[in-house]
Amino acid sequence: MLLAVDVGNTQTHMGVFEREVLEHEWRAATVQQRTADELALLFGQFLSLADLSFSRQITGVAICSVVPRATSELREMTERYFGFPALVVEPGTRTGISILTDNPREVGADRIANAVASHEMYPAEPVVVVDFGTAITVDAVSANGEYLGGAIAPGIDTSATALFLATAQINRVELVAPGTAIGKRTMTSVQSGIVFGTAALVDGLVERVTDELGGSARVVATGGLAPTVVKHCRRVERIDPQLTLNGLRLIFDRNAEGGSS
């Protein structure tokens, strides 16, 4: 069984695969200060919920992380408690796709995993991947499986927090869509601006990226906050909450098989 771990700035998404099937998944807050031993305690508790442990069933660990300190501690945890090294998505890792950016080393590992999974999903079509996290990323993948680059915008929660901190008379609100775009109260006006505004931002970026891909592309969304926004988007056709984890599984398999980079 494979343990796949996607470490974001806000949340860590982890899942256990039995071959190609995601059998279990969990989410936890990302805490950069956690040591390898603390991570072992956290992961051990999650695994025990599925009657798994460090010494049974898990035969591989694949990691993509945008938090360098967490990456280091996860490497140490895997070697110490599982007894083998983790596969970490980083420069030099076989992915099966080409990265056609000015500096491939600076592309986030999660964006690469998303590109791998989306190309596997739509192998002969260009794809736009929208990932709703601390930041919203909108990435372009060619029909030939090339990662072309993309756009980065503030995430919905990031934008909302900045608004609440910068304004004295606007209080925090639940990040849900109001009944209408025209708010009649401050609360619903803020909800409209944040939720519908984020949806419009995503639609606008998707439209521009799609135009640059030739005018047509499949559009898939992922990330923990995707369901909040995607239902109000006009250009996103599918949500796949496990996209990044599936990309990690594919990358792990390609490295185990000695596939091409």
CA atoms of 55 and 53, how far apart (whole Å): 5
pLDDT in tens, 33-80: 999 999 999 999 999 999 998 877 899 999 999 999 999 999 999 999
Structure confidence at residue 256 (pLDDT): 87
pLDDT in tens, 163-221: 999 998 888 898 899 999 999 999 999 999 999 999 999 999 999 999 999 999 999 99
Structure confidence at residue 224 (pLDDT): 87
Give ranges for CATH 3.30.420.40 in the chain.
Answer: 2-88, 124-241
Cα 155 to chain centroid, rounded: 12
> Given the structure tokens 């949806």, which residue do they identify?
199
211 is a catalytic site residue: no
Q: Out of 10-19, 48-57, 107-116, pick the least confident.
A: 48-57
CA atoms of 199 and 209, how far apart (whole Å): 15
CB 171 within 8 A of CB 160: no
Whether domain 2-88 has CATH 3.30.420.40: the reply is yes
Structure confidence at residue 56 (pLDDT): 78
Structure confidence at residue 168 (pLDDT): 84
Kindly give the residue spans of alpha helices, DSSP state H, lying in the chain.
36-49, 68-77, 109-121, 156-166, 186-191, 197-212, 226-230, 243-256
Structure confidence at residue 129 (pLDDT): 98
Q: Give me the CATH code for the 124-241 domain, please.
A: 3.30.420.40
Choosing from 6, 37, 102, 110, the catalytic residue is 110
| Average pLDDT over all residues of the chain | 94
- Residues 131-143, mean pLDDT to the nearest whole number: 96
pLDDT at 259 over 70: no
pLDDT at 126 over 70: yes
Q: How confident is the model at residue 254 (pLDDT cuts 50, 70, 90)?
A: very high
According to DSSP, the β-strands at 21-29 and 11-18 are antiparallel
Structure confidence at residue 80 (pLDDT): 95
Of 40, 39, 146, the residue nearest 101 (C-alpha) = 146
Name every residue whose Cβ is closer than 8 Å to that of residue 40 and which is 6 or more positions away in sequence.
Answer: 54, 77, 80, 81
Structure confidence at residue 258 (pLDDT): 56
Percent of the chain with pLDDT over 70: 98
Residues 64, 69, 75: CA angle, nearest 5 degrees: 60
Q: How confident is the model at residue 260 (pLDDT cuts 50, 70, 90)?
A: very low
Sign of CA dihedral 98, 153, 229, 216: negative
CA atoms of 137 and 66, how far apart (whole Å): 13
Structure confidence at residue 216 (pLDDT): 94
CA atoms of 84 and 77, how far apart (whole Å): 10
According to DSSP, the β-strands at 2-7 and 146-154 are unpaired
Name every residue whose Cβ is closer than 8 Å to that of residue 56 and which is 6 or more positions away in sequence.
Answer: none
Name every residue whose Cβ is closer than 8 Å to that of residue 89 and which is 6 or more positions away in sequence.
Answer: 62, 63, 64, 95, 109, 112, 113, 248, 251
User: What type of residue sits at position 5?
Assistant: V
